[in-house]
Amino acid sequence: MILKNRKIASSERIDIKRYNIEIEEAINQVEEGAVLSHEKVGENIKQWSKK
């Protein structure tokens, strides 16, 4: 997923080329179904907090 692969700090600016690449990657992930619903994320957080 895009968040796992991002190597720069969120406070750093990226150029327009990198921005467009990340948008395309995100669109591809959505089209491939590689996304989690809000409910599923909430369930995962609850499970992580139990560990």
Task: Tell me the per-residue pLDDT of 1-40, one tens digit each, with 9 for 90 and over.
Answer: 555 655 656 677 889 999 999 999 999 999 999 999 999 9
| Cα–Cα dist 16/20, whole Å | 6
**pLDDT grade, residue 51 (50/70/90)?**
confident
Tell which wins on pLDDT, 51 or 36. Answer: 36
* Cα atoms in the Cβ-side hemisphere of radius 13 Å centred on 18: 8
Q: DSSP strand E in 1-51: where? A: none
More confident residue, 46 or 4: 46
The verdict on pTM exceeding 0.85 is no
Q: Cα–Cα distance between 4 and 48 in angstroms, integer?
A: 17
Amino acid identity of residue 10, one-letter, is: S
